[in-house]
Structures are given as structure tokens and as C-alpha cells.
Amino acid sequence: MEPKHQVAVPSLEEITKERKRLRRGVYYRKALLSTVSVLVVVAAVSVLIATLFLPILQISGDSMAPTFQNGEIVVLFKNRAFDTGDVIGFYYQGKILLKRVIAGPGDTVVIDRDGNVYVNEQLLQEDYITEKNLGDCDIEFPYVVPQESYFVLGDKRENSVDSRNSTIGSIPKDQIIGRVFLRVWQLNKFTFF
């Protein structure tokens, strides 16, 4: 007769250690799953907020210099009421452009050869520009802004394509995404508007 194999019976201490090890594994898996779930929800909510309420844009070009520089990142606030001087983002040929609101619906705009801007016969005090310029202008003055539209200009007038050119013209309200309310990058220029 062959000898039977003896099965080693673990001690109570070994069983206790093994149970603790298994419980720790279950605990860490639950913690990891919980953390990943929270991160997914936070990411989804962030994307939803950014899409619906606070679009984030990176500045491309220098038509808004010196106010905004190429590469800066700004946050827009989606709303439907805009004041003269607000910088807004709007859709144009599949792109988003940023320009400054100069006049609203029904306002009359005149820009003279020297680049002075008059809205309803009042000269605008434009501290945000460094040089006045008529720029690329092919519209006739006086220009009356259509209802539900806004007349916009870039801050760097000599090279900004904006409402002075009939290819863009006045911006219909339904094409406007919102107004810039926060510059988040570069950190040393973090600013609320």
C-alpha cells in the first residue's frame, strides 16, 4: 500500500493573515473603482460646463493685441446681452473669432480716415488700442447696425478683419458664443474682464 499524502492544515494565524490580505485587495479594488468613477463624473461635468456655459479658447493671431496675445487662453461666458467694449467670441466660416463690440443694434457708426470711431455722433475713447487706423474697410459710412446684430472691431486696427469689411460685416446675435470674462493663461496675466 502506498502512503497517502498528508495535507498541511494551515494554522489559525495563517488563515487570519490570508483573510486580511484578501480583504485589503477587495478594499483597494473598491477604492480604485470609486476613484475612477468620481474622476469620470468630474470630467463629464467639466466638459458639459465648458460646452454649455464656459467655452475655453486659445488666442490665435494678433488682431486683438495688445489686449490679448497669440497663445493666451481665455474663458467665455455664454450670454445674450453685450455692452460696448465687451470682447466677444463668434462663429465665422467654421472658426471662432474674438473682437470688441463697438456698437449695438440700431447704432450709427462712422470711422474717419484717421481711424477715429464715432458711435451715434460720439467719439469713442478707446484706451485699449495703441494706434488708430481705418484698416481694411470697404463699407460706406454712416453705417447703421442692423437689428439683432453687433458692430465689432479688433484692437489692432491695421491688420484686423472685422465689421469694417463686408466679408464679415455686423455679427448676428445668434452667431455670438459669449463674452470673454477670464484670461487663464499665461498665469502672470490672469485677469477677469
Q: What are the residue numbers of the active site?
A: 63, 99
With beta carbons less than 8 A apart as the criterion, state whether 129 and 162 touch. no
The sign of the CA dihedral 71, 73, 79, 81 is: negative
Do the strands 73-77 and 87-92 form a parallel or antiparallel pair, or are they unpaired?
Answer: unpaired
- Using a 10 angstrom Cβ sphere, with 0-12 exposed, 13-18 middle and 19 or more buried, the burial of residue 62 is middle
The residue behind cell 502512503 is: 3
Of 165, 117, 99, 104, the C-alpha closest to 137 is 165
